[in-house]
Amino acid sequence: MSQIIASRLAAIRELMAKQQLDAFVIPRADEYLGEYVPEHNERLLWATDFTGSAGHAVILADSAAIFVDGRYTVQVQSQVDGELFGYQSLTDDPLGAWLIDNMSRGQTVGVDARVHTLADFQSLQLELEKAGLQLSAVEQNPVDSAWNDRPAAPSQPIFCFDDASAGASSLQKRQQIGELVAKAQADVALISALDSIAWLTNLRSHNIPRLPALLGSALLHANGDMQVFLDVELIEAAAVEHVGKGVSFHPESDFAAALDGLKDVKLLADPNSSNAWGQLRAQSAGASLIAGADPVALVKAQKNPVELNGLRQAHRRDGVAVTRFLAWLDSEVAAGRLYDEGQLSDKLAEFRAPMDKYQEPSFDTISAAGANAAMCHYNHNNGTPAMLPMNSLYLVDSGGQYLDGTTDVTRTIAIGDITDEQRERATLVLKGHIALDQAKFPKGTSGQQLDALARLPLWQQGLDYDHGTGHGVGHFLSVHEGPQRIAKNANGVPLLEGMVLSNEPGYYQADGYGIRLENLVAVRRCEALAHSERHMLEFEALTLIPFDLRIFDAELLTRAERDWLNDYHQLVYQALSPELTGSDLAWLKQATRAL
C-alpha cells in the first residue's frame, strides 16, 4: 500500500503546484462536518490509509505529516507509512504552530473551506498571517481531482419518518424553530447539521453509515419555510407531500446560487459547526452573518413524550437482544469455546437484527478483549481482531438504530476468573455510575457540574478516566447528540427535561484491561422531594440490561448502593422476562439475583 499512497501524494503535489500552494491541509471531515463520513468523502483515508475518526494530514512539496490525538497514537503508526508521513500530536504540536515551524514567510497554505468550520478557518488564517504565511481557500480540492476511482455518492431513497413517531409534524417543528430565528434578529438560518435537517423535515435515509440522516444543506426562514439542497433524485413524491407546505427541494449544485442570493439578508449561522465556505460565500454576497448556535439543537435534544416513549420501547427490545447475547456468551465460555473480537461483534449483531423496528448499528461496536479494552475508542476493524482470553475482562460497547429510538450500552464481562484489583476497580466505576444515576439537581444545572459525581470514587483512590462521562443521544438519529454533555470540560448547557444522555464512567489500565459501565438516561422532573424549594430534576434509566455481578466486590458497596443495584436488576427482570424463555430466561434470573 505504501507505493499506492506515494503515487497519490505525488498526484496531490502536482495539483498543488498548479494551484501555487506550498502546503495543503486534509482533515478527516467532509462539507457536512459531521461525525460520520460516507465512503466517497473519506479524503484523509484515501490520502494516508488512516481509518481513525479524527485527524489531519498536511502535504508539503517534499514532506508530509499526520496529526492525531492520544486515542490514535498506536493505530496511526500501524496504518500510516512513517517513510511518507511524520507522526504529530494534535495537542502537543498544534497544526498552525507546525505549519509556521516548517514553512517560510510568504508561502501559501491551501485548504478546502467546505471541510473546515468558519471558526477554525479564521483562527488558522489569523495565526498564519501573523507569521507571514497566507491561507488560501481553494476552488477545487486537489484530493478530489486526484481521486480517479472515487466511489459514487450513496443513493438510497429518502423515506418518511411518521409524524406519529416524531410527536410533531415538520410544519410544527419548522414554525417553532423559525420563531427562534426571528428571536435571534435573523431572517434566515443556515442549517448544516445533518441530523437537524432530518429532524426538521421528519425524513430519514440510509446514506450515511450509522446515522439515518440526509446528506445536504438547508436554509430555514423565520416564517418556517425551508429550502433543502440535496440529491433530488432520492426524493420521492410521498416525501415531498409528507414534509408539507413551505419546503422546496433543490439540487445540491444550486446551493451556491442560493447563498449568492442572500444580499441584505441577516443570516444566522454557527461558526463552530457550519463550514467556512457557506458563510464566507453568503457574506461576500452581501449577507450579514449573525453568529449563533444551531437553533434546532437544543429543541431537538429535549425529547417530547412520544419520542421518550419510543425510546423506552426501543431500549426494551434492545435489552432482550443484548441479554440473549450475554447469555450465549456465558454458555460458550463455560463450554470452553472462545471467539475473537470480530466474531463476538458479529454475533451481537445477529441477536439485534431480528428485533422489531431495528435498522442498523448506531455506531461501530467496540468489541475489546483483554488489553485492547484499555483503549477506550478501540475498533477491532483497524487490525487483526484479538482472541478472547480466559481469565480476563471483555468490554463490549454497542448500540442500535431503531425506528422508535437510538440505543447505546456498555457492559464489562468476566471471562473466567478475574483479579481482586480488577474487581475493586470495577466496583469503583459502578459506585460512580450509581452516584450519577441517583443525582437530584436543580433546574439550570449543567453536565459539567455533575461530572465529578461519577469520578469521585475513582479520585479517592488516585484514579480517573480520560473521556467524558456522558453524551447526548438522538431519537432515531445521532448516537452522539449535542449540545448537552456530562464532562470535565466547560459546557454550560443546562440539562433539561426530555434530554437523553449516557452515564458511562470507566477505568483503563494501559496494556492491561478496561472497564466501562454505560446506561442511557432521560432527564425528568423529580417528584420525590415533596418539600423541595426548587424545580428539581433527576434521571430515568432507559437501558434495561444486567450488569455482570461477578466483576463487583459487594463488600465495597454501601447498603444504598446494593439496594440500587438490586432495584435496577429487578426492573430489568420485570421488563425482559416476558420476552425470554428457556435458558435465556434462566440466565436472566441468575444475572439479576439480589446481592
Residue 153 in domain: no
Identify the band that residue 450 occupies on the pLDDT scale cut at 50, 70 and 90.
Answer: very high
Find the DSSP H helices in 460-493: none
CATH, residue 112 = 3.40.350.10
Pick from 296, 312, 337: which residue ends a domain? Answer: 296
Give the pLDDT confidence score for residue 540 in this predicted structure: 98
> What separation in angstroms does the CA of 577 have from each of 48, 408, 549, 591, 592?
49, 21, 18, 12, 11
Closest CA to 44 of 71, 62, 24: 24
Residue 377 has pLDDT above 90, yes or no: no
Do 210 and 172 lie in one domain? The reply is: yes
Residue 528 backbone phi and psi in degrees, to 5: -75, -25
Q: Whole-angstrom Cα distance, residue 535 to residue 533?
A: 7
Running DSSP on this structure, what letter comes out for residue 73?
Answer: H
What tens digit of pLDDT does each residue of 75-94 get? 899 899 999 999 999 888 89
CA distance 55 to 52: 7
Are both 331 and 462 inside the same structural domain?
yes
Mean pLDDT value across residues 15-27: 97
pLDDT of 382 higher than 80: no
Grade residue 587 by pLDDT with cuts at 50, 70 and 90: very high
**Residues 428, 575 within the same domain:** yes
Indicate whether 311 and 287 sit together in one domain: no
Q: How many domains does the chain have?
A: 3
Q: Are residues 131 and 215 in the same domain?
A: no
Contact 108, 20 (CB under 8 A): yes
**Residues 387 and 439 placed together within one structural domain of the fold:** yes
Q: Please report, for the domain that includes residue 529, its CATH number.
A: 3.90.230.10
Residue 342 shares a structural domain with residue 425: yes
> Where does a domain end: 100, 117, 146?
146
| 78 and 171 share one domain | no
Query: Does residue 154 belong to any structural domain of this protein?
Result: no
Q: CA neighbours within 13 Å on the CB side: how many for 268? A: 23
Residue ending a domain, among 281, 296, 311, is 296
Residue 251's domain comprises 159-296
- Report the interhelical angle of 420-437 vs 559-576 (nearest 10°): 80
Hey, what amino acid is at 513? Y
Based on the domain organization, do 582 and 568 belong to the same domain?
yes
Residues comprising the chain, all counted: 595
* 15 and 92 part of one domain: yes
Cis omega before residue 38 (within 30°)?
A: no
Where does the pLDDT of residue 384 fall: very low under 50, low under 70, confident under 90, or very high at 90 and above? confident
pLDDT value at 1 more than 70: no
* Residue 55 Ramachandran class (φ > 0 left, ψ -120 to 50 alpha, else beta): left
Mapped onto helix, strand or coil, the DSSP state of residue 358 is: strand
Whether residue 407 is contained in a domain is answered as yes
* pLDDT of res. 528: 85
Q: Mean pLDDT over all residues of the chain? A: 96
pLDDT of 71 above 80: no
Q: Exposed e or buried b for every residue in 368-396, given b needs 16+ CB within 10 A?
A: bbbbbbbbbbbbbebeebbebeeebbbbb
Vertex 425: Cα angle to 421 and 429 (nearest 5):
170
Query: Per the domain annotation, does 151 fall within a domain?
Result: no
Q: What is the pLDDT of residues 315-342, one digit of tens each?
A: 999 999 999 999 999 999 999 999 999 9
- Whether pLDDT at 572 is above 90: yes
- Rg (C-alpha) for the chain, rounded Å, is 25
Q: How large is the angle between the packed helices 447-459 and 420-437, nearest 10 degrees?
A: 150
- 257-311: pLDDT as tens digits: 999 999 999 999 999 999 999 999 999 999 999 999 999 999 999 999 999 999 9
27 pLDDT more than 90: yes
Residue pair 296/320 in contact by the 8 Å Cβ criterion:
no
Asked if the structure places residue 313 within a domain, the reply is yes
Same-domain status, 469 and 412: yes
Average pLDDT over residues 490-518: 96
Same domain, 283 and 352: no
CB of 28 closer than 8 Å to CB of 56: yes
